[in-house]
Structure 1
Amino acid sequence: MDRTEAAEDRSRYRESDAAHLPVEAYSDAIPDHGNAGYFARFEQMLREEFEVGQTILWLPVSMALGAGLWFSSDETLAILPVAILFAAVVLLLFLKDEGRWRGAFVLAAGFLVGMLASEAEVRRHGTTLLDSEITTRLEGRVINRDVDHAGRWRYTVEIERTFDPQIGRPPERVRLVARGGHTPIDIGGRISGLARLQPPSGPVLPGGFDFSFHSYFNGLGGYGFFYGAPEAIESDGVDETGWALGFQLGVSRLRAAISTRIRSVLPGDTGGFASALTVADRRGLSPDTVDALRASGLAHVLAISGLHMALVAVTFFLLLRTAFSLFPSVVQAYPVKKIAAAGALVVATFYLFLSGGSVSTQRAWIMLAIMLVAVLADRPALTMRNVALAAIVIILISPSAVLGPGFQMSFAATAALIAVYSFWRRSTQYATGGIAVPGVLRMIVFFFAGLAVTSLVAGLATGPFAVYNFHRIAAYGLLANLAAMPIVTVIVMPMGLASMLAMPFGLEYWPLLAMGAGLDVVMWIAHTVESLGGYVVVGRVSFGMFLVLTGGFLLFVLGRSKLRLIGLAVAACAAVAMVVFAGEDPDILVAEDGRLVALVSEGALAANRSRPSTFVFEQWQHALRRPDTLRPTSSGHEADARGPPELLSGFLRVSAESPGFSCAKKQFCVGKTEAGTVVAVVEDLHFLGPACDSADLVVTHRAIALDRCYSGAMLVTGRMLRQTGSLELVERDGALLVKSAIGQTNRPWTRQRFYDWRSRTYKRTKPSWLAD
């Protein structure tokens, strides 16, 4: 067989239905002309991957890598060379329609597209992030509002002006909690009040989740609360909202009205749970219930994702087809399956807007829309190519989602489930052969078997991503999902859809009661499973090992040649290595505001505060696998008449005799690491000089201009931390090595850290202890 005939055979194969078969069937059809050796066989497998038409599956992977590189860069990369290189690659693709390197060129183009889409998204948002904490009076328009389980209202406000004092770089939108009792201000109304604003926080640890990054792309420039009750501003009768903002306000009002009607029927956590599933309003759930859902592995039920979209669309699809089946003449005259698919798409689109249109919901809608359009086009609805197309669309629209755990876990679960069910469908067809199985029994068996397989596969696929992002996994997640998901599938979501369809007619009471009964059972399951055992804290893992595991996983689920077995082995080995080889832990941790410092001991974290910030401290404990807390001791010397040097020396003697920090309230804390490094945390600047003379590391949250201790001790100030973010310090060979969460990264979501409000300029200063 010459090359021309082989190329024609491959072309005919790609165009045939046989392209959906495993690649072994194809590789057996094309003989191997004596390729010998390991590298020759490896090259053969790579050629088979591309010849079967697998490039489309790897295209979103290359786009995600391009987006990840673009966002992880410390400085904004030049866009012009990327655009020129992309044009050159596209030209080569047009010039070479065939060839062994065509797949590589396609993936290279996808990589560059990911970078270009990332820069476009950065420029499209242009969110102004608040640069420092401030108390000011503000006026603005309420874009959205919700209420928590304790009756506190949270407003998303589009700022119109600030005064007393005026902010030099005011954010466009902020989210504020109103603690005082007041009459809720309507969505679209104008609001005024004295507010405490703070910028979005950075990672609590280097390499951790960056809240300022996601706030930038969510359009939120600051967070805070009102002092007292905010006031409503009377409208001047002039409505300057455009059509886009008007549409957004209309959807927000509809969501608020639906949430209110749900809670009028279902009070407490039940109503909050139902609101979360219908309009994505999760603030109505109490912290205890949220913790139980997370610890039991059922927190994914709260997030409107592919599961909810699929259940809503499939329920409506089946209801519509069942209704059509009552009229045989209609079934014979019209394509009722396509009509039902179109109706399901309309319902899913309405659900998208109703849920607020978050990134995770957009991702679920795109995947579902592609599958329903495939039904309209008489194509297979659930295939790996449809998942790849959904990922491509999402990366083109919002490439920043690639760095979020929602994107990673959603597509990991979907790809793994399709790969497993594809194998399962073939194996069950072969296993049953011509044996007749009763329809009802077959349905029941396959429902529960499918549920068990779905929970197991989804848990295994998302587990590594959960460990990397959250440093923990639910101990009994499989048990909780097996018990709760049949209720969510059969009762909760269908009754939720029925209540939404009945609500315009005022008939939602009974469907909501049925939905609430199902949710009560789900919450009971969550609390029961939580009592058996909560999280398994794994700790943080190496980013490099996580990339290796991800690569092996993708090769396993996307591959069609024997390379997928290599991918499975690589993923398994990397998963074991992630847990066994945890890497080097730091000896000292410093929060980005400088108020919280922790010493890392063998089994605990010693904090300088008796009540450390739960938000930061629990993440430190999970990441470093230190469940215990050593609280500071106080000997009551804060009223001592001795001077700062003598008083601090006395505390140094106390800290040398006991683990953890020894503190004088509102003055200073002194502690010593297991390696002997003396750490002083100073609040009262009268003690700064003696601390520099006595300690090896001095930390103060005060934004002072001093940049070093003249005694040679390392000095960390609030001004430095504002630019560097949180710190990890490791003792090595008598020196302290520092790793910073932000470093000198200068991107739109970190640039506010370098803003000097006095001179209204951007100034980057690098501390002497910060390594390159």
Structure 2
Amino acid sequence: MAAGAGREHAAFAGVRLAAPFRPRLIWLAGRLRFDLRTWLERELAERAGFQWLAVAFGAGCLAYFALPREPLLAALLTPALLGMLLAAYGYRAGRLWRIASVVALGLAGASTAKLRVDSLSGPQIERPFVTELSGRVIRRDTRAERRPRLVLDNLRAETRGAETRGAETLPGRIRLSLGAKQGLPPLGARISVKARLLPVAGPTVPGGYDPRRAAFFEGIGGTGFVLGGWRAQAPPARLSGGLALARVRAEAVQRITALAPGEAGAVAAALLVGERSALSEKTNESLRISGLAHILSISGLHMMLIAGAAFFAVRAALALSPTLALTRPIRKWAAVAALIVVTVYLALSGGGVATVRAYVMAVVMFAAILVDRPPISMRNLAIAAFVVLATEPESVTEPGFQMSFSAVAALIAAWDVWQDRRRRRLVDEDALPGLRMLRFIGRAVFGVALTSLVAGLATAPFAAYHFERAATYSLLGNLLAAPLVSAIIMPFGLMTLLIMPIGLEALPLAVMVWGIDALLWVSDWVASLPGADLAAPRISALSLILMSAGLLWLCLWRLRWRLLGIPAIGLGLVLVPVLDSRSDILVAPDGTAVAVRDAGGVLRVSGARAGSYVVEQFLDEEGAQAPDAAGLRNGVRCDELACILPSFGALEVAHVRDPVAFAEDCRRVDIIVTPLRAPADCQAMLVIDAKRLEHFGAHAVRIVSDQGEPQFDLTAERSAFSRPWQTGSGVKNGQNEAPSTSAKGRSAAPGS
């Protein structure tokens, strides 16, 4: 007992020895709390909190699209309104109004997304059928690698009968493919066709690119192809609004491609009017591998070059008059002229997300000049984010929005740091003229390199998450391409647009095309370098959230505590290999194609040929290079009834094409995948058949354990509750049947 008392005394003695350190810890905690509060107050005093309201609004939009089932509008609007009232009361009373504002803006973002989805909801094609219909041509797509396509609205069924059941509830818009040799009707014409209509295809792999979702937000409720030709019912009427602009854009594309046929003309059309349909897949791939694909997207770079050229040209012209220069606000006049130019450019470009964001930034920037405010700021970027998300909240989930805003936020933050450093140091401006010229050139080269590096680092997580590819020599490509784009391509492109109405665009377009040819040569050379196109590691959603939060913290704050964003980015990077969850089996939505990862980690495919869309999606999902046909089928054993694929962990997967094969394969193999209905008494550990695919779409399977009884982690395209953009067979009243489980083994219920 004495020994026990001694041990107890010793233990308490240790605590008493630690007691003197407690005041020190309490002091440190209090000091940290005081510093954080002081930093926050200083940040808010500089109005740095406004941009976080835009982040909250965007987070609310993102949360809505991540929900597993559709929420009620009242469940979002009611707390949003209550939060706004609480924020208003708290502002006057000085209590918790900041937190209430953030919560209210988040709920407002979710409510905005819900209202947007409800406004687009309508009839959609849910099963194939043939019908005769008429509609107005509102869009034409003549991409080189595929058949011409039309988008029709104002649809009306021309026939009735059992074979056209479903035509009485046609969607608002449909997209139809024409024969390769058929001519295209003019925009605005009303045509009649006999067509086979189909539901818009869903994603080939869970979490992959979803054509159905993209079509939903374009207002397209079905696809199909024309049987025979089209017949004109009425000539194009006098067009107004969007169709009139579409016709102007189409005529501009025709004039550009007539004067500059080939890839250079296609790139010119993409840069000047946002029409990318004439670009070949080879050019797109070359620009992607070299890190120059962003040049094709009319974004901040193009808008600022166009706006800057217009601003400085008008200002220089007005400055030729000493009277105007000394007595009139020619800087503001030039800003108004630049606003007019960028507005026309926006109308001609088609108004993509990146273009609208850049336009809003330009409007805010020149408006700041008009009211004598700083033109470039994070606040202006936040205003642009509010405008884009309020009109198209679905863009928050798209790579274009994420990469565009992250790049601009990082560049603005880097610019602020650079300006602060320049203000703190003395610069010798009395150097010799030659040294000043060298310094100017060095700064220009360094500025281009730093801009490319900062933008590349800011967008890298999003590019890896969405595309799972890495452009190794992106910095080199942008260093070589930047002078061409800034000094030749865009200035002469602006001149081409300005004088096109009077028919004198040939000369400036020729100079622009010369610059584009040089750009494409740079792109091809960089893309041909060894290791230019590498598979990026798969980034999980958690890793992306951590890196995004760290990037926002690093960019949006101005004081030193912004550096706390670096550990968050580092943690996201550390978790990339830890949370890597590549699938072992991928099943196409209709079950006709399946990919299985073998013991060496290589995908083997059954039911699809090399180069097909399904195979490309399989490989893109896994970040793998496209092997040849022999490599895809290496180790796959097939007969007339089924194919056997070797899986990781010595499990065998049977891809059954004939019902006769079920009798043997259900007894012998571990996993059955089939586009047919499997027998109810099939004894395979896991069965993915037509019934399951009909309800849940594409599947991805991870083999969690191959020790003893295998366990399977299943992810499906659709969950038990569908969202408005998830249509097709099996989706009834917004809910599917409960997922079935296999006879042996354990599988998780499919997630969305």
Query: Same fold by TM-score, threshold 0.5 exceeded?
Result: yes
* Native 8 Å contact 1:604 1:627 kept in 2: no
Q: CA deviation at 1:631?
A: 5.4
SS of 2:344's partner is helix
Corresponding residue number in structure 1 for 2:22: none
1:667-702 CA-partner distances (Å, limit 9, x unpaired): 422223132333222223343444333333222224
- Which stretch shows the higher mean deviation, 514-523 or 533-542? 533-542
The 2-side partners of 1:160 and 1:553 are apart by 47
1:753/1:402 CA distance change after superposition, 3 Å: farther
Q: Does 1:124 align with 2:119?
A: yes
Q: CA deviation at 1:486?
A: 1.1
SS of 2:106's partner is helix
The 1-side partners of 2:270 and 2:586 are apart by 36
* Native 8 Å contact 2:481 2:522 kept in 1: yes
Structure 2: which 5+ residue stretches go unaligned?
1-26, 742-747
Q: Does 1:749 align with 2:725?
A: yes
1:199-225 CA-partner distances (Å, limit 9, x unpaired): 333334333343322221122223344
* Native 8 Å contact 1:271 1:516 kept in 2: yes
1:630/1:289 CA distance change after superposition, 3 Å: closer
SS of 1:171's partner is coil
The 2-side partners of 1:249 and 1:108 are apart by 40
The 2-side partners of 1:718 and 1:334 are apart by 75
Question: Where does 1:91-490 land on structure 2 (aligned, <5 Å)?
Answer: 91-97=85-91, 99=94, 101-149=96-144, 152-158=147-153, 160-162=155-157, 163=159, 165-168=164-167, 169-228=169-228, 230-235=229-234, 246-436=240-430, 438=433, 443-490=440-487
The 2-side partners of 1:167 and 1:436 are apart by 80
* Native 8 Å contact 1:464 1:575 kept in 2: no
1:662/1:196 CA distance change after superposition, 3 Å: farther
Q: Does 1:768 align with 2:740?
A: yes
Corresponding residue number in structure 1 for 2:550: 552
The 2-side partners of 1:541 and 1:263 are apart by 40
Counterpart of 1:735 (choices 711, 715, 738) is 711
- Which stretch shows the higher mean deviation, 39-48 or 183-192? 39-48
Question: Where does 1:577-592 land on structure 2 (aligned, <5 Å)?
Answer: 577-578=575-576, 580-592=577-589
In structure 1, give the amino acid aligned to 2:244. G
In structure 2, give the amino acid aligned to 1:764. N
Q: Does 1:680 align with 2:654?
A: yes
1:685/1:288 CA distance change after superposition, 3 Å: same
Counterpart of 2:635 (choices 660, 666, 671) is 660
Counterpart of 2:498 (choices 496, 501, 522) is 501
SS of 1:518's partner is helix
Structure 1: which 5+ residue stretches go unaligned?
1-32, 635-657
SS of 2:279's partner is coil
Corresponding residue number in structure 2 for 1:11: none
Corresponding residue number in structure 2 for 1:16: none
In structure 1, give the amino acid aligned to 2:559. S
* Native 8 Å contact 2:175 2:220 kept in 1: yes
Q: CA deviation at 1:712?
A: 5.1
- Which stretch shows the higher mean deviation, 344-353 or 33-42? 33-42
The 1-side partners of 2:621 and 2:182 are apart by 40
The 2-side partners of 1:625 and 1:187 are apart by 40
TM-score under structure 2 length normalisation: 0.87
- Which stretch shows the higher mean deviation, 499-508 or 743-752? 743-752
Q: CA deviation at 1:755?
A: 4.5
The 1-side partners of 2:166 and 2:250 are apart by 31
Q: CA deviation at 1:394?
A: 1.5
Q: CA deviation at 1:615?
A: 3.1
Q: CA deviation at 1:622?
A: 3.8
Q: CA deviation at 1:714?
A: 3.2
The 2-side partners of 1:569 and 1:420 are apart by 18
Corresponding residue number in structure 2 for 1:19: none
Corresponding residue number in structure 2 for 1:20: none
1:693/1:316 CA distance change after superposition, 3 Å: same
In structure 1, give the amino acid aligned to 2:251. A
Q: CA deviation at 1:134?
A: 4.6
The 1-side partners of 2:377 and 2:681 are apart by 63
Question: Deviation above 6 Å: which 4+ runs of structure 1?
Answer: none
Counterpart of 2:517 (choices 514, 517, 520) is 520
The 2-side partners of 1:35 and 1:730 are apart by 45
Q: CA deviation at 1:462?
A: 0.5
Counterpart of 1:606 (choices 599, 604, 607) is 604
* TM-align CA RMSD: 2.7
Q: Does 1:721 align with 2:693?
A: yes
Corresponding residue number in structure 1 for 2:17: none
Q: CA deviation at 1:314?
A: 1.0
* Native 8 Å contact 1:709 1:715 kept in 2: no
The 2-side partners of 1:540 and 1:138 are apart by 45
The 2-side partners of 1:366 and 1:748 are apart by 30
* Native 8 Å contact 1:597 1:681 kept in 2: yes
The 1-side partners of 2:629 and 2:207 are apart by 27
In structure 1, give the amino acid aligned to 2:562. R
Q: CA deviation at 1:633?
A: 10
- Which stretch shows the higher mean deviation, 194-203 or 259-268? 194-203
The 1-side partners of 2:38 and 2:617 are apart by 47
1:73/1:34 CA distance change after superposition, 3 Å: closer
* Native 8 Å contact 2:138 2:151 kept in 1: yes
1:82-137 CA-partner distances (Å, limit 9, x unpaired): 32222222222222326362321221121111111111111222254432445544
1:597-635 CA-partner distances (Å, limit 9, x unpaired): 01112241010036146433334334434436585799x
The 2-side partners of 1:192 and 1:451 are apart by 53
Q: CA deviation at 1:263?
A: 0.8
* Native 8 Å contact 1:127 1:216 kept in 2: no
In structure 1, give the amino acid aligned to 2:427. G
Corresponding residue number in structure 2 for 1:574: 572
The 1-side partners of 2:321 and 2:665 are apart by 86
Corresponding residue number in structure 2 for 1:10: none
1:691/1:629 CA distance change after superposition, 3 Å: farther
* Native 8 Å contact 2:318 2:324 kept in 1: yes
1:136/1:720 CA distance change after superposition, 3 Å: farther
1:561/1:251 CA distance change after superposition, 3 Å: same
Q: CA deviation at 1:66?
A: 0.8
Aligned positions, number: 703
In structure 2, give the amino acid aligned to 1:330. L
The 2-side partners of 1:450 and 1:762 are apart by 53
Q: CA deviation at 1:423?
A: 1.2
In structure 2, give the amino acid aligned to 1:156. V
TM-score under structure 1 length normalisation: 0.85
SS of 2:30's partner is coil
In structure 2, give the amino acid aligned to 1:211. P
